[in-house]
Amino acid sequence: MNTVAAYFRQIPRAVLVAVAAAVGLAVLVRQRLTRFDAETEAKLAQLTPAARAKFRTFLEAARERGWQVVFVSGYRTYAQQAALHAANPRNAAAPGHSSHETREAGDLNFIHSRTGAELRKGTSKIRWQASGLVYDAAAAGLTWGGPFGDNNHFSARS
Ligand SMILES: [Zn+2]
């Protein structure tokens, strides 16, 4: 007889059901609290651990308000930053001077799951502030780029 099967057969069924239920619940809670779409998770994974924790806190608060994130840009290499800056100097900091290069920043658009409202770089500061997201970002320890004219930029640099 298979020894593994024999081992499980001696455990009362109620115990197995309870363990399976607990594991299932833990997985559901973890998904609800921490999982975002694959693109967002990939961008989060490239940030520093400290920045990642702040962005997760922010994005969870945003989700509570019904805002779904579109993670436009996170970590950038020096070369990527240089290319962006060369294409439009007013739109991106000079290479060597961006918190994207130090894995501390994210450019985030949002879409509201109920109203369909969108928040982007070009969306007015007033609308960003009215969304509650500027408050949530600050509460999570992030600095908003709005005061610098960069409305969808958030930085964990302190
Ligand atoms: Zn940015």
pLDDT category of residue 33 using cuts at 50, 70 and 90 = low
The pTM score is 0.79
Mean pLDDT of 1-11: 79
Whole-number Å distance, alpha carbon 118 to ligand 1 midpoint, is 18
pLDDT of 1: 58
Tokens of 99: 């918190």
Same domain, 19 and 61: no
- The pLDDT tens digits for 76-134 are 999 999 999 999 998 899 999 999 999 999 999 999 999 999 999 999 999 999 999 99
Same domain, 85 and 64: yes
pLDDT of 34: 64
Same domain, 29 and 45: no
pLDDT category of residue 26 using cuts at 50, 70 and 90 = confident
Whole-number Å distance, alpha carbon 149 to ligand 1 midpoint, is 11
- The pLDDT tens digits for 141-154 are 999 999 999 999 99
pLDDT of 135: 98
Helix intervals (H) in the chain: 3-9, 13-34, 38-45, 49-64, 78-87, 125-130, 133-139
Structural domain span for residue 8 = 1-35
User: Based on the structure, what is the number of domains in the chain?
Assistant: 2
Whole-number Å distance, alpha carbon 70 to ligand 1 midpoint, is 13
Same domain, 18 and 48: no
Same domain, 12 and 71: no
Whole-number Å distance, alpha carbon 106 to ligand 1 midpoint, is 6
Tokens of 17: 């059901």
Mean pLDDT of 17-38: 79
Residue with tokens 């060597």: 96
Degrees (nearest 5) of the Cα angle 89, 95, 99?
A: 105
Same domain, 101 and 111: yes
Mean pLDDT (the chain) is 93
Q: In whole angstroms, what is the distance from residue 34 CA to residue 102 CA?
A: 23
Whole-number Å distance, alpha carbon 58 to ligand 1 midpoint, is 16
Same domain, 146 and 91: yes
Same domain, 26 and 50: no
Same domain, 17 and 72: no
